[in-house]
Structure formats: C-alpha cells, structure tokens
Amino acid sequence: MADELELLRRANPVPVDGAHFGEGPLDHRAERRLNRLLHDAEPGRRRWRPRLVWALGGTVVVVGTVLAVLFSGPGTAPAVAAPRPLTVRAHSTPVPLKQLAELAEATAADGSPKLRKGTHVQSWSLGMSDDKPPVTLPEERIVRWRADDSHTELVVATDPRHPGRPVLTDEGGEPRMVEDGHVLGRRTYPPSWSDAPPEATPPHDVVRLRSYLAETVRGEALATPELLDATEELLDHWTLGARESAALVRLLADAKGLRAVGQVTDRLGRTGQAYVYDTKGNRRMLVLDPATGAVLGLESTFTEDEPEYGVRAGDVMEYRAWMR
C-alpha cells in the first residue's frame, strides 16, 4: 500500500493550482497524471500496465459479442490487431540530433511559426486484458484556446490509416465499434490560467526550457525517460513555435541513449527522422521533422513478449502524432 500511496502523491492528478475543482470533470492534465500511475511500477521506474480489464461480471456477454464481431471478418483486422512499429527506410542516412538541432536553430531565426496554446493530436493505444486478445484504440483530440482563456476540447474516434471504416473504442468502459468520426467528447471549459508547467507558456531558451520540463514531470533530474515524458506532456498542451522546437531539439541532442536510426514515414504519411531510446522491455521512438526539428510523433513498442496479455515483441504499445 505504501508504494501505491507514494505513486498517487507523485502523480498529483488534481493539484491545488489546477483549473478545475469540486465535482467537475478532470481536465486533460489530470487525466494524464492518473494515467501515469499505470506506467510507474515504483518511484523512479517505469512499467506499462494494461489499460483495459474485461473480466468484470456483467460485461462478459457484451464483450464476447463485440469480440466475435471484431474477429469474424478479414476487413476488421487492422483496427483490432496491435499495429506494427514504424519501419526505418532501408539505406536511409541517420541524421545526428546535434546536426538537426543546428538546422532547427537556423530555421527558427525569423521566429515563424509562432507558439500556440492548444494541441491537435492523433493517438493509438493498446488495450489489453489477461483473457482476451489485445485491441488498438485510435482517437483524435483537438484543443483550442480562446482570447478569454476559455478553451474547447473535441475528441473523436478515427483512424486515418483506414478512412471511413468503423473504429474500436472503449467508450463507457466497454469495447465496441463506432462509425469513423464518432464524437467521444465535446467540452467547453471556462476561463482558467496557471503559471505552472505545462499550462505556463514554455520558454524558448535551452536552460529555462530544461527547468520547465523538469517541473512538468515533477522531478529534479531530467534524464532521457523523463525528458521524453515531459515532451509528450508539453505537446499535449502546446503547439510549439519554431524557437521552442529548436530549444527542445537542442535538449534532446544532449540526452544520453537517444540514437539516430534513419528516416521513417509516420502514420499520417509524413517523412521524419527517427531517434530511439531503449530500456528493458520497451523501445521509444521519437520522430522529428527533418527540416524544422519539430516533434511529429512518439512511439512506444514492446521489445519482449508478454504472453499473459497476448502481445509480442514488436507490438506497438502507444503512438502519438502531433499536428499543427
């Protein structure tokens, strides 16, 4: 119990400076912090755990029906099976991060494009259970801020790899198929403001950005795993401008263990340079725009079989693609 309490304290899903209080819905930051509990086995160590548990009595019949539909036809397989990881193009030349950082700094000289609060992100996450095959849950989220500091959030079930085809979702806690573009959530939040990261405006110089990102993940040190976590958190709140992207790439260039592997085409069809960080059982691939250094995506992949959850080495655990 002590470990679980410590995880909850560290995650701090509803901080005192949060924008929402009382019985209202959690904002995205709070949801992300709660989700981080699923990734932390103990303080200072990351481990991914299953997002879905389908062994609840009352839902077994429903789930069995859904899975029978999902696996009954060849046309549904891509929406169900764990996606394969992005593939590095054969014979492509890896671009060192330091070289890309220099290019990003030169590109950012005119300060365009500008930083914008809000995000547009497409995500694929793997839902697993100990008695059912894993399924992939794709969704798209658009957050837009207004001049009065209020903002809107739209979440839809969609998979651009298979336009127009039904999409699997766990809406309501039960997996089911919905039409492409089905609205999972549409909310308008009242005016709010915070001077704490990641809500506070991110700086565009390297020293201050490092401190900002360390505060984002509530840590003093910013080792490579924490840097990648903080980058994901940052991009789920802000669409970076050229200067912020250049500063971020410079930080990434100084990160240990992040190695260039070559060119990839991401799941939105964009060309990027890929950089990989390996830990036990997991590989994280960061995809950067080869011209500007902007982060295009972040992929987490199993590198070891997890037979109890029906996943194999090479299955994608989670993928996020950010857009302007």
Amino acid 152 reads: T
Q: Where are the domains of the chain?
A: 48-323
Cβ-contact 93, 293 below 8 angstroms: no
Say if residue 321's pLDDT is above 70.
Answer: yes
- Binned at pLDDT 50, 70 and 90, residue 174 comes out as confident
Q: Which residues of 103-129 are buried (b: 16+ CB within 10 A; e: fewer)?
A: bbbebbeeeebebebebbbbbbbbbbb
pLDDT of 250 reads 97
Rounded distance between C-alpha atoms, residue 36 and residue 236, angstroms: 14
What is the overall mean pLDDT for the chain? 81
pLDDT of 56 reads 28
Say if residue 79's pLDDT is above 90.
Answer: no
How much is the average pLDDT of 160-187? Answer: 89
- pTM value is 0.77
pLDDT of 93 reads 95
Rounded distance between C-alpha atoms, residue 62 and residue 79, angstroms: 19
Query: Closest Cα to residue 100, out of 299, 273, 243, 223?
Result: 273
Number of Cβ within 10 Å of residue 79's Cβ equals 21
Say if residue 71's pLDDT is above 50.
Answer: no
In degrees, to the nearest 5, what angle opens at C-alpha 203 toward C-alphas 251 and 188?
115
Q: What is the pLDDT of residues 8-19, one digit of tens each?
A: 555 555 554 444
Say if residue 7's pLDDT is above 80.
Answer: no
